[in-house]
Amino acid sequence: MSDTRSTLVGPVEVVGTGLLGTSIGLACRRAGVEVLLTDTSPEHVRTASGLGAGRPRRPQDRPRLVVVAVPPDHLGAEIVRALEDTDAVVTDVGSVKTGPLASVTGRPGAERYVGGHPMAGSERSGPLAASAALFDGRPWAVTPHSGSDPDAVAQVEALVAACGAVAVRLTPEEHDRAVARTSHVPHLLAALVAARLADGPAEHLALTGQGVRDVTRVAAGDPALYGQIVTANAEAVLALLGEVRAQLDSLIDAVGTADRGGLEAVLREGVAGTRAIPGKHGAPVRPMRSVFVSVPDHPGELARLFADAGESEVNIEDVHIDHDPGRPVGLVELLVEEARAEHLLGSLESRGWVTHR
Amino acid sequence: MSDTRSTLVGPVEVVGTGLLGTSIGLACRRAGVEVLLTDTSPEHVRTASGLGAGRPRRPQDRPRLVVVAVPPDHLGAEIVRALEDTDAVVTDVGSVKTGPLASVTGRPGAERYVGGHPMAGSERSGPLAASAALFDGRPWAVTPHSGSDPDAVAQVEALVAACGAVAVRLTPEEHDRAVARTSHVPHLLAALVAARLADGPAEHLALTGQGVRDVTRVAAGDPALYGQIVTANAEAVLALLGEVRAQLDSLIDAVGTADRGGLEAVLREGVAGTRAIPGKHGAPVRPMRSVFVSVPDHPGELARLFADAGESEVNIEDVHIDHDPGRPVGLVELLVEEARAEHLLGSLESRGWVTHR
């Protein structure tokens, strides 16, 4: 995390008024900064402008910062064009950072380019899905290259702050390795698990529980978009897929030879990985405990549960609702700090809820 | 799903008073059925008995149904012993069904054995975690073998109904293939994803989002228990791991050769798999939509959100709370029927909530 003191100075030009571009426009306007909008589709510009994300850019406008928010396949060309056409700082919001940098390296103005990647928004698309609050509290990778001007970096971090996000500074190479690990490879393996469900007899899926639903949720994402992203990050993804393949081979070997020790070693590495995920708000991971409550499945019951939980002054860190296949009762899992779990259970029980310890 | 009309007739003996055994005892007592408790640990029997799960079995007791609820490694021996020591119907609650069956096949009384597997409870352990409601609305696989007496099957399905669960009838072989697909292989691949997080530089994990948290959640499970389960289901698990390996190889090939078509084909199969998961309550899958709301992260705010959502008379099918790394505001995702989403958004906005469309 970086400590940014610069204030964002406009006008900011947003190139590409999809979900991310329009949301950045809205967030900058919220911060009182002038925003200029550009898109190959004049209709998209009108929509974004109508939503309050800024005004169409005119030829005589002189942006101080250009944010390139176009699909992965067009990023490099648009960043180069922005560096050539303006004397502004240029950033982008692409999911992969070494590719766009390669398009820029050695060109005039390369010192004005600083890559960026907000960790938000991939499950929706289009300007109508945009929101000034899309980035609130989210990490936003800022990836200067070795030739980036420090003032350009400060200006991009000022954009991140104006959008309410938290700048995480990484080199472009580190960034790509990081997202391969935390996003691209998990997505691909979730797809491999989900693909097995598509292959299986429908009646076997009656035994589907919450676990496999969670494992496969991200695999519902747009194949064309993820195809672009993974292709653009091929090197880092391949390195990790090679590790996965090697460990899968040991796993197959361990299961095939009933080598319980080898199998448990892989499973223990998995447990260690779940513990390595940072806690909320960047704080150290606190011990958490799940509290399970039976909840009738009709409007208002969850409200009543959360109202009763609220009365107990215990903060609920996460919620899962278990989908059940045959009855109008759901099982709700409330994740709370371990030290507060007994208090919550007692409080809910005294209000008539059926809990499962 | 089967239609069971038999009523459960006791006494029911529960062998093994851990989480599942004690919960079955509590559920049977709730249904007014006499329960006899057996465990290698007299203290566990006293605890379960003290919780109201039944009374210690005496030598002269004559159970009508024996439920074997011991760890996977001991299942076969305990089922055989129950068939030899009593003339009762015998079932078990193990996660794998062909192994216990092999111990029984060809022995006297094998016709009185019918396997079972409730889809509940694996994340907690011990009699103190037990609950009469643990199985409410959950699927419970019932796995007769070719020689099972139909009356024995009916009695096991009566137990399932008395526990509030939904019987799903499968052959033992089908069951094991089904759980390999819906539970064991997803668990192993989640562990492979999580293991990559344990390997990676800590600063890269600052980019961890909700996606990878969901993919890896189950990988936090007890390695010793999952080691036993996976070993016991080695054949079905190996068949699927072989398919995963073959598809992983195509994936590595597609990414390595920038074969976008091959990559998208794998991703599309993943999307198809997520759509194959059955909807809630066994109903056809209805189109769902996510509604995103910014929620301050302190006690009472979720209650206020759910109260306001409840006022709008829209049923919330699932909830995710997004963990954010730097600010005291969470993003809550509410999954609702697509047709009701706009109504909910309008209703929440009119009450002052910041929504993201």
- Per residue in B230-263, pLDDT (tens digit) is 999 999 999 999 999 999 999 999 999 999 999 9
B216/A323 touch (CB, cutoff 8 Å), yes or no: no
Specify burial of residue B285 (Cβ count, 10 A radius: 0-12, 13-18, 19+): exposed
Q: How many angstroms separate the CA atoms of B124 and B131, rounded? A: 11
Q: How many CA atoms lie within 13 A of B221 on its CB side?
A: 25
pLDDT of residue A326: 44
Mutation target among B267, B305, B334 for the A interface, most CBs of A within 10 A:
B267
What pLDDT, in 10s, does the model give residues B166-194? 899 999 999 999 999 999 999 999 999 99
Indicate if the pLDDT at residue B324 is higher than 80.
no
Residue closest to B323 by CA, chosen among A181, A88, A278, A348: A278
Q: Which long-range contacts (CB under 8 A, 24 or more apart) does B263-269 make?
A: B263/A227, B263/A230, B263/A231, B264/A223, B264/A224, B264/A227, B266/A188, B266/A191, B266/A192, B266/A195, B267/A188, B267/A191, B267/A219, B267/A221, B267/A223, B267/A226, B267/A227, B268/A223, B269/A191, B269/A194, B269/A195, B269/A198
Q: Which of B212, B216, B294 sits opposite A183 (nearest CB)?
A: B212
Which residues in chain B are closer than 8 Å to A330, comparing Cβ atoms? 137
A176-276: CATH topology is: 6-phosphogluconate dehydrogenase C-terminal fold (1.10.3660)
Structure confidence at residue B297 (pLDDT): 65
Pick B278 or A286 by higher pLDDT.
Answer: B278
Tell me, what's the pLDDT at B357?
Answer: 67
Q: Which of B195, B218, B248 sits opposite A245 (nearest CB)?
A: B248
Residue type, B130: A
Residue A17 main-chain phi, psi, to 5 deg:
-105, 50
The burial of B186, by beta-carbon neighbours within 10 Å (0-12 exposed, 13-18 middle, 19 or more buried), is given as buried
Largest CA distance in chain A: 72
CA distance B50 to chain A (A): 16
Mean pLDDT estimate for chain A:
87
Q: For residue A280, which residues of chain B lie inside 8 Å, CB to CB?
A: 297, 323-325
pLDDT, tens digit (0-9, with 9 covering 90-100), for A65-79: 999 999 888 999 999
Q: Using a CB-CB distance cutoff of 8 angstroms, which residues of chain B are in contact with residue A243? A: 196, 199
Contact B247 A313 (CB under 8 A): no
Does the structural domain B286-356 have CATH classification 1.10.150.110?
A: no
Q: Is A212 on the interface with B (CB under 8 A)?
A: yes
CATH superfamily placement of domain B12-170:
NAD(P)-binding Rossmann-like Domain (3.40.50.720)
Lowest pLDDT segment from A127-141, A146-160, B219-233: A127-141
In chain A, where are the structural domains located?
A: 12-170, 176-276, 288-356
Give the count of beta carbons closer than 10 Å to the beta carbon of residue A357: 17
Q: Is B134 on the interface with A (CB under 8 A)?
A: yes
Residue B131's nearest CA partner among B43, B25, B41 is B25
Statement: A288-356 belongs to CATH 3.30.70.260: yes
Taking residues B89-112, report their average pLDDT. 94
Q: Does residue A356 surpass a pLDDT of 80?
A: no
Distance between CA atoms of residues B75 and A155, nearest Å: 65
Report chain B residues whose CB lies below 8 A from the CB of A199: 243, 273
Confidence of residue B1 (pLDDT cuts 50, 70, 90): very low
Indicate whether A119 pLDDT > 90. no
Is A77 an interface residue toward B (CB < 8 Å)?
no
According to DSSP, the β-strands at B89-92 and B65-68 are: parallel
B248 and A251: CB-CB below 8 Å? no
